Amino acid sequence: MKAFKLSEQLLLGCATAATQIEGGDYHSNWYEWSVKGRIQNDESTIVAADHYNRYKEDIDLMVSMHQEIYRLSIEWSRIEPKEGVWSEEGLKHYLDEIKTLNAQSIKPLLTLHHFSHPQWFEALGQWKNKKSVFYFKRFVKKVIEVLGSEVSEYCTINEPNVFANDSFIDGKYPPGDQGNTIGYFKASKHMIQAHLACYEMIHDMRKNMGFNDTKVGIALHLAYMEPFKKTPFNKMARNILDYSFHTMFLNGMIEGRFTFPLGLQGKRTKKFCDFMGINYYSRHFVHQNLNPTKLFGEVKVKDNLADEQVNDLGWEIYPKGLYHLVKENYEKYQLPIYITENGIPDAEDQKRAKFIYDHLLEVQMLIDEGIDVQRYYHWSLLDNLEWNDGYGPRFGLIEVNYDTLERHIRESGHFYAEICQSKAITEPMLQQYLKQTR
C-alpha cells in the first residue's frame, strides 16, 4: 500500500437519507411498512438515529470530520403529510438544517426522493400511477419555493432502478410485489418522466430567483455486472439485466429518451443531467433465469470468496468495479461524475479503512487519466436503518448506540476525517489506520 495525494478538485463528504436516520415520522409509507412487520426483527422507523432532533449535534460532528459536502434527503411525508396539505413545520425544519450546513460551509446536495414517500401517495399506487409525475412535481415546486435560495444542487430520485426492483420484483419494499414486471416498467417510466420534468422546472425556478449555478442530476445505483459463467446464456442474461437495470434509466434520465419497453425514442441533442451521480457498492455475477418475472437474470456472489473480500451483508468488495463503471459511463455521457454513494456494512470496523483507501485510489486513478470526477460521498455518516434489513448492518463512519442514541466516531471515521482534511493518504496515516492490512 502506498501513500498518495488526492486531487484538490475532488470534494469529499458523506451521504445519508431521511428515513434511515431521522425517526419520528408517522406519515411515510416506510412507517406503515414497519408496522406491518416487514422490517427485519420487527424493527420500526420511528426512532432510527433521532437525527431529526439531533441534526445540530450531527453537523458539529461533520465539521469536526472536515466534511466539505453532504448529500441528504428530505422526507416528502413531512412536507406534504396529506395530499395537497403543506406542513410549515416540516419545511421550516429542513430550511433550518440546510442553513446550519451552509453556515458551516458544508455544501448540501439535496435528494428529493430517497425510497420513501407519504402514505397517501403509496395508497394511490405510488410511482405506478400515471399521476405520480404531477404529485411529485407539485411537491418539488413547493420545496424549491422554500429551499431554492439555499440549495443549488439536487438529485431528483435516488436509485430508481433499485427502488423499482425491490418494490415490484423482489417484494422487499412497499408495496411488496413480486415478479410484477409491468409494475417495474410503469414505475420506471414515471420516475424518468418526473426527473425530466423536475430538471427543467428546478432550473427555471432558480433562474427566476436570480441564480445561475443550479445543478440537477441523478444518483443511480450501478453494479459491476459480469456473466456468472462465460456461456452464451449467462452473457445474454447479463446484457438484458444491464439494460433493464442500468441503460434504460440512463437513456431516460440523461438523454431524455424512452427506449424499449418504455418507448422507442431516438437520440436527442440536449442532456437532462448536469452531473452523473453513481452509487457503487459491489460486483454482480449474473446467471440466466428463464423466468421473465425475474427480468431473465439472477444475481449471485462469486463462489469461495475470502472473508476480507465480503462485507457484513455478504456483498463482494470489488474496488476495480468502480473504476470500470466510471470510465465507461464518463466516456459515454461526458458528464462530471459524482460518486453519490460508496460504503460498507462493517460492524467490527475491520474493513472500512481499507475499503475507503482502495476506492479512493481508484477515484484518483480515474482523475489522473483525465476523467472529471468531482465528488465523493461516503455512505454513510451514521449507522442507520438499512431498509428491510433493519438496524443490523452498520454503515456508519460514526457508530450509533441505539439504546442511548450516543454517537461515537469509529477509527475508520477518524481516518476519513484526516483524508478530508489533508486531501491525501500519507505514510503516517497508513501506519496508524492500515497497519494490520498492509
Binding residues (CB under 6 A) for ligand FCB: these are 17, 20, 158-159, 162, 221, 279, 341, 379, 386-387, 395
111 vs 214, beta carbon nearer ligand FCB: 111
CB of 169 to ligand FCB, least distance (A): 15
34 vs 288, beta carbon nearer ligand FCB: 34
20 vs 126, beta carbon nearer ligand FCB: 20
CB of 97 to ligand FCB, least distance (A): 18
176 vs 390, beta carbon nearer ligand FCB: 390
Helix (H, G, I), strand (E, B) or coil at 153: strand
What is the phi/psi pair of residue 398, to 5°?
-115, 125
CB of 19 to ligand FCB, least distance (A): 8
Distance separating alpha carbons of residues 57 and 20, to the nearest angstrom? 17
190 vs 221, beta carbon nearer ligand FCB: 221
The 3-class SS string of 291-320 reads CHHHCCEEEECCCCCCHHHECCCCCECCHH
193 vs 311, beta carbon nearer ligand FCB: 311
The DSSP bridge pattern shows strands 373-379 and 424-425 to be unpaired
CB of 344 to ligand FCB, least distance (A): 9
Cell numbers linked to 256 = 431524455
- Please name the residue that has the C-alpha cell 479503512: 353
CB of 400 to ligand FCB, least distance (A): 15
CB of 53 to ligand FCB, least distance (A): 21
Q: Are 350 and 384 in contact (CB under 8 A)?
A: no
Residues 6+ away with beta carbon under 8 Å from 124: 131, 132, 135
DSSP 341-359: E-----TT-SSHHHHHHHH
15 vs 353, beta carbon nearer ligand FCB: 15
Residues 6+ away with beta carbon under 8 Å from 436: none
The DSSP bridge pattern shows strands 224-227 and 297-300 to be unpaired
CB of 120 to ligand FCB, least distance (A): 23
Q: Are 412 and 356 in contact (CB under 8 A)?
A: yes
